[in-house]
Amino acid sequence: MHTFQTRSTPRLVSGPGVLGQLGECVGSVGGTHVLLVTDAGIVKAGHVGHAVGVLEEAGISVTIYDRTHENPAEADIEACRQFAEDLPVDCLVGFGGGSSMDTAKGCNFLLSNGGRMSDYKGYGLAKKAMLPFIAVPTTAGTGSECQSYAVVSRDGSHEKMACGDPKALAKVALLDPELTVSQPLKVAWLTALDALSHALEAAVCTRKNPVSALYAKEAFRRIASGIEMVLQDAALLEHRASMQLGAALAGMAIENSMLGAAHAMANPLTAKYDVVHGHAVALMLPEVMRWNREERSAVAVYLELAAMIQEPLIEWVEHVIGLAKLPDLAGCGVTREAIPELAASAATQWTGQFNPRRLTEEDFGGLYERVLGG
Ligand SMILES: [Fe+2]
């Protein structure tokens, strides 16, 4: 028998309109002055104005930082810290997509423990207490609201650093599906495919345990019930709610286990060809699942998931990804000649180690070739 231990998860406050409870949530963690970390698009959509109204009504002061960038780098986190350092902030709210969450979490490391983000690459390196953090996602994808890691690019090299600490985990994840209605269609597609891949990779990875398996399966069930409607731009609020909760549960699955080879193969595509993360993972996922079919433990899980949707799993995944009509690998500029370098990079990615069936650098090359060859 294996031994295992679980990690904490945030308190979830979920359902249409729960943004109205943000003041209560901040109060419950002792917050009186919030730094609300977001981006200009979310402000424009009107959500930030609504959140500020709710907080002020609860007697809580708010300062808005709306200069979050996509794929934040160390300099972006430092800019947020400098903005906040002289404010009497006692609570952070990450309000937006994964980048707002990562910037808020990263800022929390620097405000409370000093230094720079690369000092925290790894897990559990923050010595001092951190400020309470509340996550309010406006996309249904990364699951960052339920993870204790901030993903930040190293200045200069663009290396994606995972900086984790149990103290960085959100105290509350507030999941209001009404906030996801305004996300641009392309963002909805790419984040949905990312969330799907999180559930599918976490469900079979070698770090899985009975608790992460529960999260991954329920995440898959929720995501599967909403994703086709989202990809066909026909999602009702109930589909969005399903996706949002599914993405958060997938985040909990990752927090309690790991990911796999599709994420390992996606990272070099993002780093070298600027392929957006959800797109890059979606390109790789079906071939990685075919590769995993040789591993009995993965097959057992795939069969369970297939029974939930009553369709062959890999074919269904390909169908769903096809609905997004994304460019293929060649369309992203990848040529056969580039494969050795991509394979070498994929083989060094941490997440790949936890794929249920092991891959050598050569195996990664073979999978890229299969994807490229169609
Ligand atoms: Fe992902």
For 113-147, how does the pLDDT look when each residue is reduced to its tens digit (9 = 90+)? Answer: 999 999 999 999 999 999 999 999 999 989 999 99
199 near 223, Cβ under 8 Å?
yes
Q: Is residue 109 predicted with pLDDT exceeding 80? A: yes
- Would the pLDDT of 369 be above 90? yes
Claim to verify: residue 122 and residue 232 sit in the same structural domain: no
Same domain, 258 and 335: yes
Cα(278) to centroid(ligand 1), Å: 6
Q: How far is the CA of 234 from the centre of ligand 1 (A)?
A: 24
Which residue, of 134, 151, 180, is where some domain finishes?
180
How many angstroms does the Cα of residue 33 sit away from the middle of ligand 1?
A: 32
Number of domains in the chain: 2
For residue 22, the CA-to-ligand 1 centroid distance in Å is 27
Q: 133 in a domain, yes or no?
A: yes
* pLDDT value of position 220: 98
CATH code of 291's domain:
1.20.1090.10
Same domain, 34 and 82: yes
Tell whether 191 and 153 lie within a shared domain: no
Is the same domain home to 190 and 169?
no
Report pLDDT for 70: 87
Per-residue pLDDT of 231-241, as tens digits, reads 999 999 999 99
Residue 158 has pLDDT above 80, yes or no: no
Does residue 286 share a domain with residue 159? Answer: no
C-beta of residue 90 within 8 angstroms of C-beta of residue 31: yes
Residues 149 and 211 grouped into a single domain: no
Q: Both 308 and 194 in a single domain? A: yes
Helices (H) and strands (E) counted in the chain, each on its own, are 14, 9
Count other Cβ atoms within 10 Å, centred on residue 301. Answer: 22
Give residue 271's pLDDT: 87
Query: What's the CA-to-centroid distance between 277 and ligand 1, angstroms?
Result: 7
pLDDT band at 211 (very low <50, low <70, confident <90, very high): very high
pLDDT at 374: 55
> For position 346, what pLDDT does the model report?
96
Residue 2 placed within a domain = no
Residues 32 and 109 occupy one common structural domain:
yes
- Answer yes or no: is pLDDT of 108 > 90: yes
Q: What is the CATH number of the domain that holds 42?
A: 3.40.50.1970
- Look at residue 97 in the predicted model and tell me its pLDDT: 93
Pair 148, 203 in one domain = no
Residue 252, domain extent: 185-373
Indicate if 160 and 33 belong to the same structural domain. Answer: yes
266 Cα to the center of ligand 1, angstroms? 9
From ligand 1's centre to the CA of 191, what distance in Å? Answer: 8
Q: What is the CA(351)–ligand 1 centre distance, in A?
A: 11
CA 84–ligand 1 middle distance (angstroms)? 29
Q: pLDDT category, 300, cuts 50, 70, 90? A: very high
Rounded Cα gap, residues 67 and 76, in angstroms: 8
One domain for residues 24 and 156: yes
Q: Give me the mean pLDDT over the 321-342 stretch.
A: 96
**264 lies in some domain:** yes
For ligand 1, the distance from its centroid to the CA atom of residue 25, given in whole angstroms, is: 27
297 C-alpha to center of ligand 1: Å?
22
| Cα distance between residue 273 and residue 258, in whole Å | 25
- Ligand 1 centroid to 66 CA: how many Å? 24
Report the relative pairing of strands 149-153 and 61-65 from DSSP bridges: unpaired
What pLDDT, on the 0 to 100 scale, is given for residue 157?
78
Largest CA distance in the chain: 60
90 Cα–ligand 1 center, Å: 30
Domain boundary among 125, 145, 180: 180
The reported pTM is 0.96
148-162, 165-179, 334-348: segment of lowest average pLDDT: 148-162
